[in-house]
Amino acid sequence: MFRSIDPDEPRIYLLPNLMTAGNLACGFFAVLTIFKGIMKATTPEGYIFAEAQPYYQQAILLIFASCIFDLLDGRLARFGGQESPFGREFDSLADVISFGMAPSMLMAKAVLLPLDEDLNMEGVGWGLACVYVLCGAIRLARFNCLAAMPKRANASTDFRGLPIPMAAGFISSLTYVVIYFNETDRNLGVWKYVLAGAMLGLSVLMVSSVRYPSFKKVGWRTRGTPLVIVGAALLLIVTVRFHYIMPAVLFSAYLLYGLVVRPFLSPKIQREIEAETPSKSGEAEDDQTGNPG
C-alpha cells in the first residue's frame, strides 16, 4: 500500500491497482490500434478493409487481455483483503475505456460500416456504438452507487445487469469471428444486422435488472473433482486450438446462462454450479470492493 502524509488520502494498494492499470493500458492501446487500422484502411480509393484487418484482430486480443487483468484485480484484492473505494473507482474508469470505448469503436468501424452503405445513412454504426458506451457508463455508475451503500448480511453476490467486461468480451469475440471469416469481403450479408441487434441487446442488458452470477466464490480454496479438472483442462485445450471461435462460445454461454437458463434452475443447483452458499438477494461486491462489471 502506498502511504501518504495527508490522512484524508484514500488507500491505494499496489497489486490490485497494478492489475487495473494493466486493464486500462490494454484498453488504451486497443483504441490506438483501432485508430491505426482506420488510418491504414482509409485510402483515396476508399475504405480497404483488408488493410485494417490485422490491426482490428490485434485490438480484439488487447480487449481480451483487459478482461484477464479485470479478473485478476478483484481476485488479488479479495485474496489480500485489500478492497478499497479507490480501487472501485479506478476500476470503473478503466472499464469505460477498455470495455466501453474500445469495443464500440471496433464494432462501428470493422463490422457496422456496411450498415451506413446499405441504409444510405452516414453515422448509423457510430450511433449504435454511442448507445453501447452510454449504457455501459450508466451500468458502471449505478453499480458504484449501490456498492457504496451499506451491505446487508448474507447479501447475494449476483450482478444486477450484464457486467460490462462480459458485454465487451461477447461483442469483441463475435467481431473476431466475423473478421476471421471475412478477411477481404465487406459484404457481410445478414450478419451486419445480427451484430447491430446484438450490440443493442447488450446495451439493454447492461442497464437491466437481470441477475448474472459473479462466480466470486470460485477461488483458491474451491474444491473440485478429478472429472471437473479433466473437463477444465480439455476446455482450455479446445479454446487454444480453436481460438477464433471459442471465446464467442464461452461468452455466449455466460450470456445465455444468466438470461435463459439460470431463472429456471432451483436455488440448490444454482449454488452448486456457482460455488455459492445460501444467501439472500442483494447486490454483489466484487473487484476492489466491487467489479462494476
Q: Is residue 279 part of a domain?
A: no
Kindly report, residue by residue over 31-40, the tens digit of the pLDDT.
Answer: 999 999 988 8
Q: Is residue 280 part of a domain?
A: no
Residue 275 has pLDDT above 80, yes or no: no
pLDDT at position 285: 38
Q: Is residue 256 part of a domain?
A: yes
Residue 185 has pLDDT above 60, yes or no: no
Number of domains in the chain: 1
Full domain range(s) for residue 202: 14-274
**Which residue, among 58, 67, 155, has the nearest Cα to 110 in the 3D structure?**
58
**Top-confidence residue, 197 or 7:** 197
Average pLDDT over every residue of 58-65: 95
pLDDT band at 283 (very low <50, low <70, confident <90, very high): very low
pLDDT band at 229 (very low <50, low <70, confident <90, very high): confident
pLDDT at position 268: 83
Residue 190 has pLDDT above 80, yes or no: no
Q: Is residue 282 part of a domain?
A: no
Q: Is residue 23 part of a domain?
A: yes
Q: Is residue 87 part of a domain?
A: yes
pLDDT band at 45 (very low <50, low <70, confident <90, very high): confident
Q: Is residue 288 part of a domain?
A: no
Q: Is residue 157 part of a domain?
A: yes
pTM of the model: 0.85
Pairing of strands 46-47, 42-43: antiparallel
**Which residue, among 127, 186, 175, 207, has the nearest Cα to 30 in the 3D structure?**
175
